[in-house]
């Protein structure tokens, strides 16, 4: 009986997704070979080390090494994973969810069942960016301690839009005025910061 070796090149899917805080987001992932049932599906983030976003095995979620920030916030779009769909639903996204997400699967007929064996190339890589709504203002109120008087020096605040706050290369020049009535020792009248 002849032995045949088959090498399958997995076509990796990549996508960038932008979301607003509080939204539910679907991160797409589709297994390439739909003939074999999926027995393990895992979503991970490279920055989380050994903890994962979601692992689904033997028809249930495996909470053992799930990162705490994803507990009760993630689900599969289709728990039966029909047609190879292992898309992830991430609920109530926050700025901390901004990251790269990777999807891996194990299908029946392969010997990979341990998590260590899931360290193969991902079949889907999604870059999620959570941003503030357009036009939402950021506000800063700065307080400085005067070394001579040990008093707080209130500084007027300035509101800027998210786009202004980011500016060129993430920098923005702001001219701030120190309140005269709260300044017992006039150290300076105007402060510029970047």
pLDDT one-digit tens code per residue, 124-150: 999 999 999 887 655 444 555 555 555
Domain boundary among 130, 149, 172: 130
Q: How confident is the model at residue 109 (pLDDT cuts 50, 70, 90)?
A: low
- Model-wide pTM > 0.95: no
Give the pLDDT mean for 22-29: 97
Last residue of a domain, one of 76, 108, 130: 130
Query: Residue range 170-194: average pLDDT?
Result: 43
List, in sequence order, the alpha helices (H) in 35-157.
Answer: none
Is it the case that residue 65 has pLDDT exceeding 90? yes
Residues 102 and 44 in one domain: yes
Share in percent of the chain as helix, strand, coil (round to 5): 10, 40, 50
- Which of the listed residues 99, 130, 161 is the one where a domain comes to its end? 130
Helices assigned H by DSSP within 41-183: 162-166
161 pLDDT band (50/70/90 cuts)? very low
Cα–Cα distance between 181 and 34 in angstroms, integer? 72
pLDDT at residue 75, as a whole number:
95
pLDDT in tens, 115-128: 444 567 899 999 99
Q: What are phi and psi of 47, to 5 degrees?
A: -80, -5
Q: Give the rounded percent of residues in the chain with a pLDDT score beyond 90.
A: 43
Dihedral angle over CA of 62, 27, 126, 118, nearest 10: 30
Burial label for 106, CB within 10 Å (0-12, 13-18, 19+), is: buried
Range of the domain at 17: 13-130
Q: Please determine, for residue 180, whether its predicted confidence score (pLDDT) is greater than 70.
A: no
What does the pLDDT look like over 89-106, one tens digit per residue?
A: 999 999 999 999 999 998
Same domain, 22 and 91: yes
Same domain, 118 and 97: yes
| pLDDT classification of 172: cutoffs 50, 70, 90 | very low
- Higher pLDDT residue, 152 or 85? 85
Residue 44 lies in a domain: yes
Query: How many separate domains does the chain show?
Result: 2
Using a pLDDT cut of 70, give the percent of the chain over it. 57
**Are 86 and 152 contained in the same domain?**
no
CB atoms within 10 A of CB 110: 12
Are 145 and 182 part of one and the same domain? Answer: yes
**pLDDT of 116:** 43
**8 Å CB contact between 107 and 38:** yes
């Amino acid at each position: 009986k002849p032995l045949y070796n088959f090498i399958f090149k997995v076509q990796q899917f990549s996508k960038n997704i932008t979301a607003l805080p509080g939204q539910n987001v679907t991160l797409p992932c589709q297994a390439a070979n739909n003939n074999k049932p999926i027995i393990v599906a895992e979503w991970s983030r490279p920055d989380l080390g050994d903890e994962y976003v979601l692992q689904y095995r033997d028809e249930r979620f495996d909470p053992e090494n799930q990162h705490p920030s994803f507990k009760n916030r993630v689900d599969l779009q289709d728990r039966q994973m029909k047609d190879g769909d292992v898309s992830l639903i991430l609920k109530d996204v926050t700025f901390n969810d901004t990251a790269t997400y990777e999807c891996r699967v194990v299908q029946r007929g392969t010997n990979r069942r341990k998590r260590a064996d899931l360290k193969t190339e991902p079949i889907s890589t999604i870059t999620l960016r959570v941003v503030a709504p357009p036009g939402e203002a950021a506000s800063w109120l700065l307080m400085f301690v005067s070394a001579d008087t040990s008093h707080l020096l209130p500084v007027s605040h300035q509101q800027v839009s998210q786009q202004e706050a980011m500016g060129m290369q993430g920098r923005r020049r702001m001219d701030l005025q120190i309140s005269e009535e709260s300044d017992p020792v006039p150290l300076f009248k105007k402060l510029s910061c970047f």
